[in-house]
Structure 1
Amino acid sequence: MDVFENAPEQALAWHEAGQGAVLATVIETWGSAPRRVGAQLVIAGTGEMQGSVSGGCVEGAVVLEATDALEKGEQRVLEYGVSDGDAFAVGLACGGTIRILVEPVGSVLPVELLRGLMEARAARKPAAYVVGLSSGKRELAFGGYPDRFAMDRSGFEEDGNVFVAIHNPPLRLAIVGAVHIAQALVPMARVAGYDPFIIDPRAAFGSEARFPGERILSDWPDDALDEVGVDSRTAVVLLTHDPKLDDPALHLALKSDTFYIGALGSKRTHAKRVERLEEAGVNPTQIARISGPIGLDIGAASPPEIAVSILAEMTQILRRGA
């Protein structure tokens, strides 16, 4: 990922240490710009920096502008492009055009707002940082931009005057059942940007030898899910085929805000699963949230192919909804 994820935290740390801090954020791109909208660079008053807005092309120029903006306590909007002589001078020969918002912490970006954003991030609460470029108004929003939150897409509203920076919690994947499909799904999910973990109380399945270096929870599935928490950025995948393990996790997941619940099994197995849930008094609308049989119907046969179908369906529901 090309976004420096700890930019707000680093900016506040430098500010509170008395060094001064500036947040530089890519707010618009054209062509083959090297970083996407939302990418951030944090600059201390000493000139130290972390993150990137162009992969090294214009960082030096941005640091100079940020240092001056910090001294003067003012917001700046910078623009660099390959057709701009100044851009060539600072090294933007990699293509495209970028606009960068420069915000000194304290004088422009309110410290309390930055703290509020950090608290939301720590609590895994999706938040949008909304900036009126002309008005100077800055606020946090915890809703109101469903498409942007779904697509992790920062950008402009209101004819290019209001910039919305989306701060979604990292994606997580809870896999109940340390089976062969899980062995294929875990590395695939990690490449796709998820933080996966495996839940299985059966020691022979959930072993370090089968999942080297991975997080394995050996508690009963519902207890494990309750401990780690299931939110709107967590997917839950049930792979055991065993109602004693899957059903407790399923009941907890259905009460949560998880964006995806998938359960392995044939149509007949899923029909029996639905019957058990109905007998337990679960609402039909809630039951309909379950993707069962799990995964997109791509004719998958082997465990890796089934893992591909699961990850594809997770992506489809995350980005487009159920």
Structure 2
Amino acid sequence: MDLSLLAALNAERAARRAAVIVTDLATGSARLVREAEAASDPLADAIAERFLTGKSGILEGDGPATFLTVQVPAVRLIAIGAVHISQALAPLARLVDLDVTIVDPRTAFATPERFPDVPLLAEWPDEALPKLGGLDRYTAVACLTHDPKIDDPALAAALRAECFYVGALGSRRTHAKRVERLEAAGFGADEIGRIRAPIGLDIGAVSPAEIAVSVLAEIVSALRRNRRREA
């Protein structure tokens, strides 16, 4: 592989952006296609499908034999709040290959005993999120503390970063107050409308584990729907 192409691919990887190297197997010629440019590429449909699956391989078809080397960022879930829902959500999310991190400044809740084998930052979101490399379009943020001092900064950061999923626990009345605070902070109706609140699909969930299932289902739905729409 051409070193300049490899360097460009590594730059996209470091920036957590999807990209694919398209190689003509007959001639050896190759080009880099970034996700933002993919819609205008001659192989747009095939590349979009590979971004959905994240799998490299030979492109089957009537044209010249082509190999697609696909690089898609790992999808992250950042749960704000080391609560009972998070305890159930973390292992479920890992089963569908999400990289999970728990953020909660309340050290009585954010303990390794309650969250074994899960990255845990016992810090305020303003301090913790930059340490995670910031947020991006391959990140889901679920705010679960029910405490505006903790949830609101994370929501603001997630909206600014255009995370593919932003959800917040709380009743409609609680969310109405949240909307007022975000409006006062300068967010518009379209931005605030991206927040899934009450969080999770409406499956009649009652227990923390059931709510965790509804949240994970909503995250997966948002991930797949967003990728298909962009395709």
Do the structures match in fold with TM over 0.5? yes
Q: Does 1:172 align with 2:76?
A: yes
Cα gap change, 1:142 to 1:271, in 2 (>3 Å): same
Q: How does 1:1-16 map to 2 (within 5 A)?
A: none
* Residue of structure 1 in register with 2:89 after alignment: 185
**CA distance, structure 2, for counterparts of residue 157 and residue 318 of structure 1:** 26
User: Given the two structures, how large is their TM-score scaled by the length of structure 1?
Assistant: 0.62
More helix by share: 2
**CA distance, structure 1, for counterparts of residue 219 and residue 128 of structure 2:** 21
Secondary structure of residue in 1 paired with 2:22: strand
**CA distance, structure 2, for counterparts of residue 113 and residue 314 of structure 1:** 33
Secondary structure of residue in 2 paired with 1:262: strand
Cα gap change, 1:281 to 1:111, in 2 (>3 Å): closer
Is this contact kept in 2: 1:178–1:206, CA < 8 A?
yes
Letter of the structure 1 residue corresponding to residue 125 of structure 2: P
* Residue 270 of structure 1, aligned match among 172, 175, 181: 175
Name the % identity.
Answer: 52
**CA distance, structure 1, for counterparts of residue 190 and residue 27 of structure 2:** 44
Map Cα deviations across residues 218-275 of structure 1 (whole Å, 9 max, x no partner).
2211221122111121111100001111001111111003111111111221122112
RCO (CA 8 Å, sep 6+): is it higher in 1 or 2? 2
* Residue 121 of structure 1, aligned match among 7, 10, 13: 13
Secondary structure of residue in 2 paired with 1:131: strand
Structure 1: gaps (5+ residues): 1-108
Deviation >6 Å, runs of 4+: none
Cα gap change, 1:300 to 1:230, in 2 (>3 Å): same
Q: Does 1:131 align with 2:26?
A: no
* Residue of structure 2 in register with 1:69 after alignment: none
Aligned Cα RMSD in Å? 2.0
1:203 Cα deviation from its structure 2 partner: 0.6
Cα gap change, 1:259 to 1:157, in 2 (>3 Å): farther
Secondary structure of residue in 1 paired with 2:70: strand
User: Given the two structures, how large is their TM-score scaled by the length of structure 2?
Assistant: 0.84
Cα gap change, 1:246 to 1:255, in 2 (>3 Å): same
Secondary structure of residue in 1 paired with 2:157: helix
**CA distance, structure 1, for counterparts of residue 103 and residue 48 of structure 2:** 31
Q: Does 1:205 align with 2:114?
A: no
Q: How does 1:1-322 map to 2 (within 5 A)?
A: 109-143=1-35, 144=38, 145-146=47-48, 148-152=50-54, 154=56, 156=59, 159-161=62-64, 162-228=66-132, 229-321=134-226
**CA distance, structure 2, for counterparts of residue 316 and residue 287 of structure 1:** 19
Number of aligned positions between the proteins:
214
**CA distance, structure 2, for counterparts of residue 153 and residue 298 of structure 1:** 32
1:134 Cα deviation from its structure 2 partner: 4.2
**CA distance, structure 2, for counterparts of residue 290 and residue 157 of structure 1:** 40
Secondary structure of residue in 2 paired with 1:181: helix
310-319 or 119-128, which deviates more: 119-128
Letter of the structure 1 residue corresponding to residue 129 of structure 2: L
Map Cα deviations across residues 150-206 of structure 1 (whole Å, 9 max, x no partner).
443556387453443321111211110000000000011111101111100001110
**CA distance, structure 1, for counterparts of residue 63 and residue 147 of structure 2:** 53
1:279 Cα deviation from its structure 2 partner: 2.2
Cα gap change, 1:287 to 1:159, in 2 (>3 Å): farther
Secondary structure of residue in 2 paired with 1:286: helix
Q: Which has the larger radius of gyration?
A: 1
Map Cα deviations across residues 135-163 of structure 1 (whole Å, 9 max, x no partner).
53211111214554244355638745344
Letter of the structure 1 residue corresponding to residue 145 of structure 2: T
Map Cα deviations across residues 93-137 of structure 1 (whole Å, 9 max, x no partner).
xxxxxxxxxxxxxxxx22332233233223322111112334532
